A = this chain, B = another copy of it.
Amino acid sequence: MQKLLFLGELSPALKQKLTAALPEWQVSFQQDPSAKAPAQLLAEVTALAGQVSGPFIKAALPEARQLGWIQSWSAGINHLPLPLLAQHGILVSTQSGIHAASISETIVGTMIAMVRQFQTCQRKQAAGVWQQDDRTRLSTIHGKRVGILGAGHIGQETARLLKAFNLETWGLRSHQTATEWIDHVVTPATVDALLRACDFVVNILPATPETRGFMNRERFSLMRPKSRYISVGRGQTTDTAALTEALQSGKLAAAALDVTDPEPLPAGHPLWYLPQVFLMPHQAGLFDQYDNQALTVLIDNARAFAQTGQPAVNLADLKRGY
């Protein structure tokens, strides 16, 4: 019999749903994801799911000799010891996809908030001031150009939404390939054209060795004067000092950041205070139905794994890192 250990919190209703949906699995729950699991359980477990951390895996691996598959609860897997997992032949599947609506809406929302000066409105409201903004400071996203760094599933969903607003869409992919909803596809070798063309640059790159500090001083310098930057992927893909400079110098008109490097942003960092910066505490991917939808992915993958030895969807490439 397959044995699944779920790590982290899950509502009683969802626990019951999971257990009922997987009669061919014996499912255990451990609320504290960082505690060591009982040796007997570890020795027999074939799959882990939920808040699976790097330290947990490193501690468990010597004993968890039956472990064959991990269902991550997030889209990224850069927090896991990927070479170690590859070496043991352990498969990892992600929650890629379930964040699409939440993240793409957050991107569109922050873009509109920028051109409609929502932050200034809120400050005026807090000060009790009713005063129209200078209309030269108000614009629309309609007809503008957006460049999406990481035009995968979420990037394409974002581009689809922005097409309704009549934006011209550019997208960065690892290889040149026709991509739905993207008017102009670029690669790392040709990304300069995107940076020079676009009014908005949206960074949803995964965290890999290749993408670390991707948006650096040189790339910010290529962006259009008064363009805007939105970062909702992984903080490490942006050089924080370079971003801060680009904002302080007035090169960029505004930034919306759901992720930073380091994270949380250190107390006193200028990005906390710049009025043209909008900070979100890494929550663009969160929504009320998250666990419910993630559970559906887990159930589908567990059924497939029991039958075929492979999860049905979202199998990660441990070498690429996503």
Interface residues of A (CB under 8 A from B): 101-102, 105-106, 108-110, 112-113, 115-119, 121-122, 124-125, 128, 130-133, 135-142, 160-161, 163-165, 263-265, 267, 272, 277-284, 286-290
Bound: A277/B113 CA distance, A: 16
Copies assembled: 2
15 pairs, CB–CB < 8 Å, chain A vs chain B: A101-B165, A102-B116, A105-B142, A108-B112, A109-B113, A116-B283, A118-B278, A118-B280, A119-B122, A121-B281, A128-B267, A133-B281, A133-B283, A136-B288, A160-B164
Bound: A139/B289 CA distance, A: 8
Bound: A139/B105 CA distance, A: 10
Bound: A283/B132 CA distance, A: 6
Question: Would A113 and B108 count as touching, CB distance under 8 A?
Answer: no
Question: Would B122 and A281 count as touching, CB distance under 8 A?
Answer: no
Q: A121-B281, A139-B287 are in contact. Are A112 and B109 (CB under 8 A)?
A: yes
Q: List B contacts of A165 (CB < 8 A).
A: 101, 105, 161
Q: List B contacts of A289 (CB < 8 A).
A: 139
Complex partner residue of A122 from B122, B124, B137, B140, CB under 8 angstroms: B122
Q: Across chains A and B, which 3 residue pairs bring their CB atoms closest together, nearest first?
A: A109-B112, A130-B264, A164-B164
Bound: A19/B118 CA distance, A: 36
Q: A118-B118, A264-B130 are in contact. Are A138 and B102 (CB under 8 A)?
A: yes
Question: Would B140 and A281 count as touching, CB distance under 8 A?
Answer: no
Q: List B contacts of A278 (CB < 8 A).
A: 118, 121-122, 125
Q: List B contacts of A137 (CB < 8 A).
A: 288
Question: Would A288 and B130 count as touching, CB distance under 8 A?
Answer: no
